[in-house]
């Protein structure tokens, strides 16, 4: 029997809060993080709403000079990693640094820094482009900067698999720990794509909600009247260790990271497979990895973006993986209804929400749910959180390009 991998620390900055406790409190209370965009002038665009991280002060986590040399997504990464490492009580030393990994993903990397540099090059010439641009824009910057900040000398990289990046990064860390390649890891993801280019690009794909004047009811995952996702930003990182090591040093263990599954639809560059076959296969793989049965799952944190195709495909995937009868009995919710879609970082935050749901016996809601969709007919925990004790939960992360990643988390006993 393989040794259990456990979660001993968690950290996040996201549209619902600047740490785990604040974020979780707002999530179970159904608070929306969606507001008008303040990070740039959105007036030339057709979308004027987003879920921004509010009140974030990077100087709390790093020197002000270093903060200026790091993209916003890297600042988020360091903040979340700092919180996770601090909570875990794990001390990185010269003796163990080479056995610690930093697998902090990003789907897109430093889009804001890249956009600014392109404009600078165009308007002022190449000599005005920052010499720090490359480390600011590269997708592995969140992992690399965290490794430098905390002295991590083991495997350090980012997984880029669109909106599945965070879940894939955590799943990769799980496999590395199980293999014995490392003894501990900071794993998660960071994203900061609320820029004029990012918002325009996702809007041109047809994925964005345009309810700019009345955004109090968007996004609306699984609702018949949903009209698209709302872009979010932030980071979420967890500290992972083998159970025996965590117990030896007397660490608080929050939950077991029990399983991981990943597949590809091989279907379309943006649209999911209409039958949800790839998603269903990833769910089955995650349960097998966790040595669990379908009947053991007490909650599903859905991908639930609020787009027509994604929500229908995911509903079919859940039914295909669990069977229709069982699927109707499992509570499922989309916390993206509150956080917006944080792209690659959302899957990592949703793992933290699963941990807290298991520990606290409270399932977060899908807010903004009003009108049932006949194609989306599961129990979506509408509008209000629900008290329920659960032992096992899974989180779905399905990304552009047909990337499917599923994480299973089990109550620690």
User: What does the pLDDT look like over 344-370, one tens digit per residue?
Assistant: 999 999 999 999 999 999 999 999 999
Residues 93, 182, single domain; the answer is yes
Together in a domain, 241 and 272: no
Q: Which of 48, 268, 273, 303 is catalytic?
A: 303
Active-site residue, from 341, 368, 376, 403: 341
Domain boundary among the residues 203, 224, 248 is at 248
Do 184 and 284 reside in the same domain of the chain? no
110 shares its domain with 230: yes
pLDDT of residue 324: 93
Asked if 301 and 395 count as a contact pair (C-beta separation under 8 A), the reply is yes
Do residues 219 and 305 both lie within one domain?
no
Q: Is 156 a catalytic residue?
A: no
Structural domain count of the chain: 2
| Same-domain check for residues 268 and 318 | yes
Answer yes or no: 403 catalytic: no
Which among 191, 223, 248 is the end of a domain?
248
How many CA atoms lie less than 13 Å away from 277 in the CB half-sphere? 7
Residue 273 lies in a domain: yes
Tell me the average pLDDT across 395-413: 94
Q: Is the pTM of this model over 0.95?
A: yes
Claim to verify: residue 235 and residue 363 sit in the same structural domain = no
pLDDT confidence of 96, banded at 50, 70, 90? very high
What CATH number is associated with residue 368?
Answer: 3.40.47.10
> CB-based burial of residue 237 (10 Å sphere; 0-12 exposed, 13-18 middle, 19+ buried)?
buried
Kindly state whether residues 230 and 130 are assigned to the same domain. Answer: yes
Residue from 18, 56, 50, 54 nearest 35 by CA: 50
Same domain, 48 and 194: yes
In a domain, residue 413? The reply is no
Contacts for 287 with CB less than 8 Å, ≥ 6 apart: 259, 261, 293, 294, 296, 297, 394, 408
**pLDDT digit string, tens, across residues 21-59:** 999 999 999 999 999 999 999 999 999 999 999 999 999
Position 264 in a domain: yes
In a domain, 254, yes or no: no
- Is pLDDT at 271 greater than 80 in this prediction? no
Strand runs (DSSP E) across 61-121, as ranges? 100-105
Catalytic residue selected from 48, 122, 156, 163: 163
What number is the average pLDDT over the span 224-244?
Answer: 97
pLDDT of residue 186: 98
The full length of the chain comes to 413
Band (265; pLDDT cuts 50, 70, 90): confident
Q: Are residues 231 and 266 in the same domain?
A: no
Q: Do 243 and 332 lie in a common domain?
A: no
* Spatial CB neighbours of 190, under 8 Å, sequence gap ≥ 6: 73, 74, 76, 77, 80, 104, 105, 106, 142, 234, 235, 237, 344, 345
pLDDT given at position 1? 66
Res 51: pLDDT: 98
Q: Cα Rg for the chain, rounded, in angstroms?
A: 20
Across 82-91, average pLDDT: 98
Instruction: Determine the pLDDT at residue 267.
Output: 80
Q: How far apart are CA 10 and CA 397, in angstroms?
A: 19
């Amino acid at each position: 029997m393989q040794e259990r991998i456990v979660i001993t620390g968690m950290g996040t900055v996201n549209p619902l809060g600047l740490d785990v406790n604040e974020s979780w409190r707002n999530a179970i209370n159904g608070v929306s993080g969606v507001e008008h965009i303040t990070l740039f002038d959105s007036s030339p665009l057709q979308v004027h709403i987003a879920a921004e991280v509010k009140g974030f002060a990077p100087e709390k986590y790093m020197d002000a000079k270093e903060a200026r040399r790091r993209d916003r997504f890297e600042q988020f990464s360091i903040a979340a990693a700092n919180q996770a490492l601090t909570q875990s009580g794990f001390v990185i030393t010269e003796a163990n640094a080479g056995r610690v990994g930093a697998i902090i993903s990003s789907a897109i990397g430093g889009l804001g820094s890249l956009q600014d540099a392109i404009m600078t090059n165009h308007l002022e010439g190449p000599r005005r482009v920052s010499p720090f641009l490359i480390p600011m824009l590269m997708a592995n910057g969140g992992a690399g900067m965290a490794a430098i900040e905390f002295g991590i000398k083991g495997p350090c990289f980012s997984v880029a698999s669109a909106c599945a990046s965070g879940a894939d990064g955590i799943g990769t860390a799980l496999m590395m720990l199980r293999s014995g390649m490392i003894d501990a890891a900071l794993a998660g993801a960071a994203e900061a794509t609320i820029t004029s280019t990012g918002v325009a690009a996702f809007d041109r794909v047809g994925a964005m909600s345009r309810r700019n004047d009345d955004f109090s009811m968007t996004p609306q995952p699984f609702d018949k009247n949903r009209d698209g996702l709302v872009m979010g930003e932030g980071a979420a990182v967890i500290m992972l260790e083998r159970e025996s090591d965590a117990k030896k040093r007397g660490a608080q263990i929050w939950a077991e990271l029990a399983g991981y599954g990943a597949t590809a639809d091989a279907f379309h560059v943006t649209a999911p497979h209409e039958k949800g076959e790839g998603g269903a296969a990833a769910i089955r793989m995650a349960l097998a990895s966790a040595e669990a049965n379908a009947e053991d799952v007490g909650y599903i944190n859905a991908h639930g973006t609020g787009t027509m195709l994604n929500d229908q495909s995911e509903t079919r995937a859940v039914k295909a993986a669990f069977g229709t009868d069982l699927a109707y009995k499992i509570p499922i919710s989309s916390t993206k209804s509150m956080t917006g879609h944080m792209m690659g970082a959302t899957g990592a935050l949703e793992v933290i929400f699963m941990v807290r749901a298991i520990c606290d016996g409270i399932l977060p809601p899908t807010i903004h749910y009003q009108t049932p969709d006949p194609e989306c007919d599961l129990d979506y925990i509408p509008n209000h959180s629900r008290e329920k004790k659960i032992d096992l939960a899974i989180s779905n992360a399905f990304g552009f390009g047909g990337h499917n990643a599923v994480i299973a988390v089990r109550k620690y006993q």
